[in-house]
Amino acid sequence: MDKINRELSLIAYYLSEYNESAISALGYRTCSEAMRGISVRLGKPNNYLKLRRDEFDVLTNSSRRGWANRPPTKEVVVLFDEFSLKSFEELTAHIRSILQNADEAYKNKVADAVEDKEYIEAVNKVTESDSGTKVLRDKPVAAKKVQSRTAHVYARDPVVAANALCNADYKCEVCAEHETFIRKSNGKPYTEPHHLVPVRYQSLFDVSLDVENNIVSLCSNCHNRIHYGADVSELLHKLYDNRKDVLKKAGIEISFSELEQLYK
pLDDT band at 55; cut points 50, 70, 90: very high
Q: Are residues 127 and 80 in the same domain?
A: no
Q: Are residues 62 and 15 in the same domain?
A: yes
Q: Are residues 120 and 187 in the same domain?
A: yes
Give residue 108's pLDDT.
66
**Where does residue 233 rank: exposed (0-12), middle (13-18), buried (19+ CB within 10 A)?**
exposed
Domain boundary among 67, 85, 103: 85
Give the number of domains in the chain.
2
Q: Are residues 37 and 164 in the same domain?
A: no
Residue 134 has pLDDT above 60, yes or no: yes
Lowest mean pLDDT among 55-69, 123-137, 147-161: 147-161
Q: Are residues 79 and 117 in the same domain?
A: no
Give residue 1's pLDDT.
66
Give residue 156's pLDDT.
85
Does the residue 176 lie in any domain? yes
Cα separation, 149 vs 198, in Å, equals 17
Does the residue 254 lie in any domain? yes
pLDDT band at 151; cut points 50, 70, 90: very low
Give residue 79's pLDDT.
94
Does the residue 155 lie in any domain? yes
Rounded to an integer, what is the distance from CA 241 to the centroid of its chain? 22
Q: Are residues 166 and 72 in the same domain?
A: no
- Beta carbons of 191 and 217 less than 8 angstroms apart: yes
Does the residue 211 lie in any domain? yes
Overall average pLDDT of the 125-154 stretch: 74
Residue 149 has pLDDT above 60, yes or no: no
Cα separation, 209 vs 21, in Å, equals 47
Residue 216: phi, psi to the nearest 5?
-105, 155
Does the residue 35 lie in any domain? yes
Does the residue 105 lie in any domain? no
Q: Are residues 41 and 78 in the same domain?
A: yes
pLDDT band at 150; cut points 50, 70, 90: very low
Does the residue 92 lie in any domain? no
Q: pLDDT by residue (tens digit) across 67-104?
A: 777 888 899 999 999 999 999 999 999 999 999 988 88
Q: Are residues 202 and 133 in the same domain?
A: yes
Q: Are residues 129 and 68 in the same domain?
A: no
Does the residue 91 lie in any domain? no
Q: Are residues 121 and 63 in the same domain?
A: no
Q: Are residues 144 and 234 in the same domain?
A: yes
Structural domain span for residue 53: 3-85
Residue 160 has pLDDT above 50, yes or no: yes
Q: pLDDT by residue (tens digit) across 206-251?
A: 999 999 999 999 999 999 999 888 889 999 999 999 999 999 999 9
Residue 144 has pLDDT above 90, yes or no: no
Q: Are residues 134 and 63 in the same domain?
A: no
